[in-house]
Chain A
Amino acid sequence: MSMAAEERDARAPWALTAPALMLFVGVLLIPLAMTVMLSFHDWGQYKGIEPVFILKNWHEIATDPYYAEMFWRTFRIAILTTLLTALLGAPEAYILNRMSGRWKSFFLLIILGPLLISVVARTLGWALLFGGNNGLVNKLLMSLGVMRSPIPFMFTETGMVVALAHVMMPFMVLSVWAALQRLDPQIENAAMSLGAGPATIIRRIIMPQIMPGVLSGSIIVFSLSASAFATPAIIGGRRLKVAATLAYDEFLNTLNWPLGAAVATLLLVALVLIVVGSNALIERRYAEVFR
């Protein structure tokens, strides 16, 4: 092979990935870097944004317990949502996997169907059912005399967790489903022939093998829930802010862009650390199942 050809070969991958790379740099890396830089700028009610380098915003976030509460709430909701989707989604995927052909595809469609509908529409559905005195379920329960006041759902953390879990469920089911597909179809028969009962088979044979699926589903659900905007905005509103709605408010209502940028950056860094850390842990713990 000639020198020129070799050189050409070496450049080829760069040339081929250039369009995607440019898009990635242009719409992701540069805005991200600008957001990080923005978080170090100053801001005043009358002077607006001043491009200086100060730690004022970061200092405020670190010392004001308001922000600590906000982030603590964000991760509490994300963790509870993840637990709820795992507890419901894993058995759901397992049952789905055991169904016969036609039912399986029908229920898979039902589970994936919501992904085709906007998150806003799905969350508003919950608001229609449980929203104060006018919510359908609340009206029904109150007119039947079952309850005197509406179920506390709107503007509660419980409501947020339930609505988020509903929105995130397909990701968990799909992730566990993928792990189930890797299972040897005879593995349950093998365990049964060795004398294991149904409970033992689930606990000792199935669970350890689908655990990587549950955990990777959990990572997806956790990071999406912690950074979710639409659902917390509709269910929690102004009364129950999370990190994403807080950043939004700082940007668009208070117009304090630098503070909003600091909140957004902190959320991003925290999420990346948690996701990368837990991913490394999972891969080490389940090395044998992943192979």
Chain B
Amino acid sequence: MAYLELDRVAKQFGAQTVVDDFSLSVGKGEFISFLGPSGCGKTTTLQMIAGFLDPTRGAIRLAGKDLTAIHPAKRGLGIVFQSYALFPHMTAAENVAFGLEMRNVPRNERAERVRAALAMVGLAGYEDRHPRRMSGGQQQRVALARALVIKPSVLLLDEPLSNLDAKLREEMQIELRQIQRTVGTTTILVTHDQNEAMSLSDRIVVMSQGRIEQIGTPQQTYEKPASAFVSQFLGKTNDFAGAIDRTLTPAQLVVGSWSVPAPAGLNGPVTVSIRPERIGFGDAGLSAKIVTRIFQGNHWLFQCESECGPAIVIRQNDGKAQPAEGEAVRLTWRPEDMSVRARAGS
């Protein structure tokens, strides 16, 4: 059942459409990521949910009620900002207590809930610290505690981890996921980091140029990208130009010297996408030459020049001998590992 619902939401700044035709329904307790490059409209969408911007068209509903009619201060959403936006003149505890104070929570209960919230994010004992005396990771935790302590109906996270270094970011991702699971708050995360989106979310909304490209689970969006943009944006991918030849019997999908019986539906020129880790070296298939071979510990990365253009191949380091640079190889993959889309032109 839809808890938070966005119905054909659009936002225009002057003549420029920043978000267009955005429809999404979020279930209670779900963790959703808006993923896309900067300027794709993901933050604008988040700000419309938060109420800092009004949608030009469309409706946003929370538990069946029209959210756009409610003042942002009354929406009861928890927001963690990219810059954290902590109040520098207040201690960590005062920061967390602010939302409760605004809700007139009695002093005793307030103190108890602030203590519990700070303990939950692992900051017990930091109550009297001022934000500017804390590290980036600690400030991030205070911001999270401040957003969660008011028991928000929806938690909105605007690139919350982008200011942290790689190692800390990974730690916080795991912790964020655990906290979200424990508290069970419906959460929307805005990010441009595909790994972050994949490791945290139940579903990912991939956006580009103000439009939704695909909505799906991390596996769905990775394995079955709905568009060229999604396959390029989520991880590395190989796009080969191929063709479906229905004059043959049975009809064949041909990519260079690699071919399989054609799938139903499509005809003519197509684009075939295969993830680099799904390509293997075989006796038959797309002929290619290895240009560079890079050892990366748990895997090998091959850059090849194939008859259909450049290709990247990732092979797990299983201890077996791998082809050398300059060697001629045949690239092959299972038909179920590729996705085939119609290609415009010729």
Contacts and interface: CB of A to CB of B under 8 A. Distances in A.
A225 interface: no
Given A186-B81, A200-B102, A291-B132, A193 B87 contact: no
Nearest to A183: B88
A61 interface: no
A64 interface: no
Contacts of A205: 87
Interface residues of A, number: 22
A194 B85 contact: no
A227 to B, nearest CB: 32
A209 B89 contact: yes
A110 to B, nearest CB: 27
A95 interface: no
B81 A189 contact: yes
A210 B98 CA distance: 19
A191 interface: yes
A196 B81 contact: no
Interface stretch (B70-78, B189-197, B224-232, B272-280): B70-78
A195 interface: yes
Interface residues on B, range: 20 to 34
A100 to B, nearest CB: 12
B173 interface: no
B102 A288 contact: no
A200 B133 CA distance: 25
Contacts of A195: 73-74, 76, 99, 102-103, 150
B50 to A, nearest CB: 6
Contacts, number: 71
Interface string B49-75: 010100000000000000000001111
A189 B81 CA distance: 9
A184 B95 CA distance: 15
Contacts of A208: 89
- Most A Cβ at <10 Å: residue of B83, B86, B87, B150: B87
Interface string A194-233: 1111001000110011000000000000000000000000
B98 A194 contact: yes
11 contacts: A186-B85, A187-B85, A189-B85, A190-B79, A190-B81, A190-B87, A192-B52, A193-B72, A194-B99, A194-B146, A289-B88
Given A187-B87, A190-B81, A286-B89, 6 more contacts: A184-B86, A185-B83, A186-B83, A191-B87, A195-B103, A197-B73
Interface of A: 184-187, 189-197, 200, 204-205, 208-209, 286, 288-289, 291
